[in-house]
Structure 1
């Protein structure tokens, strides 16, 4: 699980400070406030770790088929007026390894070469007891440092970091017995990034039917394009737990009032299948029901099919849902994170989702340690993060004014207008 995140000079963030990320973290704020950049920074690292070119320092995107995010070039990412011209990403994580939990910290600052490429200026990988650093020197050479030793273990261009998070084979060999410890730490970080799953705000419209690829992958895709295949795999692949995801998604849809259940049905004797939605005694193809069902289906599918230990990044999971369904989403995030050990980082504009999370706190169905609510606002050109102070009764002590509108003010204005019209009617 990712425990803390910090951004410096990255887009609108001069310095986010160390942001605590809970098992369920909700990001709220106005449009273009900087919320998405917090999630994008993790996606940058994830797609860099997956890059086929191990000498790449940071993959800012551009490959629409494979990249999760595309942020342009160095100048587009660097905060306006940043001096010196460099930005930094820091994250802390915990990852179970057998009987113990590995605590790791990654910190990397990036600059620009004369040719315009993004380059690592300084990389630090550390645990509670050990620290390994690679620092860029002149002409592309790097010095490798261990702990607080007064001198570097070695210098040279062959010691350049790989994919932002790994030391080169030459650096590992140089460190001798310490190299194995560093390799374990790099591997734990890589697995943490590989465990990130992203579902964006724009989900593809589902096909009326499709061929089951017979794969076991539970990936739904950044636009939810593989959600139906993930459900087909769950329902049709023999083995322990067959159909468990489909049943869980059905139960969630029922709680939301969107469907009684869903069902996978083969079309004749062909290899094509459709997803049926049962509601009030009527069964219909997923394509023929309200768009809200199709839009939330990837959200529910990813929640129940990702492996334990995953971190799920969700943007606007509530789109096209009625208020009750949005509120139930909050319950599902709290429950699934506890039951399946899945972390949810949710960017949302939903008042109903947020209010239900407050209610869960008041009911003691979750805790402030398990659920973190963050508000992002702009102060001039800079993004500022405000952790909302929520007590055990769900009351927010430092709620930013008028973000969800002014419900009491609207009610007062309606009463004033009603009284005015009544006076006018009586006078006439």
Structure 2
């Protein structure tokens, strides 16, 4: 689980400072304020560690099949008001599983631009609770390797350039001798945390009337939820422990949201094609024939159960096309699944109903303030600014930003005033 995020001179952010990430973290704010950038920084590292080229320092994208985002070039990532040195940085802290060899660690990496225009690591800083390893760029692409708080490098050379942002080179690991396995385990732990991110974007595929199934389980749900149906089919049709767990879990939350009573996978004759049947009020309909909200929330519900325990689920606008009650139930989903499956949720949302229900869950003590963090992102003089919403034990916000969700009480007062004035005018 990611426990802290730090960005400097990264797109809209001059300096986020340390951003605490909890089991459930919600990002609120105006459009184009910088919320998505916080999410994209982790996804940039994820697509970097998954790059087939191990010598790459930072994979800014361009492969429409394998990459999550195309970030453009160095100048597109660097904050437009960046001060010298013209560099940006990404950092995070994490806690692994109890069974992991590295229980916790810290990653910090600073990037600059070479004379040829490519992105190159300037400083890579990896830490455990008691150890520190740094790779620092010198002249002509050579790197110095430093351990703990040593002031002199143990060795330096171009063959010590880091790989995929998070790993020391094979030569560096070998020359570190007994310290080599430690930094290797730390890099592996960081890689696992990044690879365990499941990301679902705000634009999801429309449903089909039927689907083929190749009798296998998909590797991931996909950025647009393209494999959510495959995950449901695998859950229903693959024999063994856990069969129907995802289908039953999705059905439960659809019923809680009052958009369906249950979900059923139905084979079409003897073919290998299947349809998803939505049951509601005694009527069975093909997924294609029900409201778009059901198909759009399906990937959200599926990934909550499909993502491995201990992983991080990143969601953008999970509430799209849902009515207010269904939006609010999403808060219950995040809290419940996070507690049951030890899954972390980082959610970017515009939904007041989702946020208000989270306040209620805190007031009901179904989630502690130590388990949930909520941030408001806004623009100030062209730069993104982060405000952590200070909630008390009753879910009340002590530092609420004015005007974001509107003024419901003010609207009610204005309506009451107009009713009174029109009634008085009618009597005269």
TM-score tier, shorter chain, comes to over 0.9
Partner of 1:38: 38
2:142, 2:160 within 8 Å by CA — same for their partners in 1? yes
Write the mapping of 1:287-298 to structure 2, written as runs, cut at 5 A: 287-298=288-299
Helix, strand or coil at the partner of 1:96? coil
State the Cα RMSD in Å.
Answer: 1.0
CA distance, structure 1, for counterparts of residue 30 and residue 155 of structure 2: 48
Partner of 1:211: 212
Partner of 2:331: 330
CA distance, structure 2, for counterparts of residue 150 and residue 404 of structure 1: 52
Partner of 1:278: 279
CA distance, structure 1, for counterparts of residue 11 and residue 100 of structure 2: 40
Partner of 2:246: 245
Partner of 2:137: 136
- In the TM superposition, what whole-angstrom CA distance separates every residue of 1:301-321 from its partner, at most 9, and x where no partner exists? 000111101100000000000
Q: CA deviation at 1:149?
A: 1.6
- Alignment pair present for 1:22 and 2:16: no
- In the TM superposition, what whole-angstrom CA distance separates every residue of 1:176-214 from its partner, at most 9, and x where no partner exists? 010000000000000000100100000000211111122
- In the TM superposition, what whole-angstrom CA distance separates every residue of 1:51-98 from its partner, at most 9, and x where no partner exists? 000110111111111111122111111111212100000100011152
- Comparing 39-48 with 62-71, greater Cα deviation is found at 62-71
Partner of 2:198: 197
Q: CA deviation at 1:352?
A: 0.5
CA distance, structure 2, for counterparts of residue 205 and residue 248 of structure 1: 21
Shift in CA distance, 101/390, structure 1 to aligned 2, threshold 3 Å: farther
Write the mapping of 1:168-187 to structure 2, written as runs, cut at 5 A: 168-187=169-188
- In the TM superposition, what whole-angstrom CA distance separates every residue of 1:129-148 from its partner, at most 9, and x where no partner exists? 00000000000110000001
Unaligned runs of 5+ in 2: none
CA distance, structure 2, for counterparts of residue 178 and residue 218 of structure 1: 34
TM-score normalised to structure 2 length? 0.98
Write the mapping of 1:342-381 to structure 2, written as runs, cut at 5 A: 342-381=343-382
Partner of 2:12: 12
1:234, 1:244 within 8 Å by CA — same for their partners in 2? yes
Q: CA deviation at 1:411?
A: 1.3
CA distance, structure 1, for counterparts of residue 385 and residue 356 of structure 2: 22
Unaligned runs of 5+ in 1: none
Partner of 1:49: 49
1:218, 1:302 within 8 Å by CA — same for their partners in 2? no
CA distance, structure 2, for counterparts of residue 135 and residue 290 of structure 1: 55
Shift in CA distance, 4/99, structure 1 to aligned 2, threshold 3 Å: closer
Partner of 1:162: 163
- In the TM superposition, what whole-angstrom CA distance separates every residue of 1:273-329 from its partner, at most 9, and x where no partner exists? 010000001101101100000000000000011110110000000000011111111
Shift in CA distance, 174/218, structure 1 to aligned 2, threshold 3 Å: closer
- Alignment pair present for 1:227 and 2:222: no
CA distance, structure 1, for counterparts of residue 49 and residue 268 of structure 2: 41
Helix, strand or coil at the partner of 1:367? coil
- Comparing 196-205 with 72-81, greater Cα deviation is found at 72-81
TM-score normalised to structure 1 length? 0.98
- Alignment pair present for 1:70 and 2:90: no
Helix, strand or coil at the partner of 2:120? strand
Shift in CA distance, 241/211, structure 1 to aligned 2, threshold 3 Å: same
- In the TM superposition, what whole-angstrom CA distance separates every residue of 1:357-378 from its partner, at most 9, and x where no partner exists? 0000000000001111111111
- In the TM superposition, what whole-angstrom CA distance separates every residue of 1:219-259 from its partner, at most 9, and x where no partner exists? 21100111000100111111111111100100110010011
- Comparing 208-217 with 402-411, greater Cα deviation is found at 208-217
Helix, strand or coil at the partner of 2:399? coil
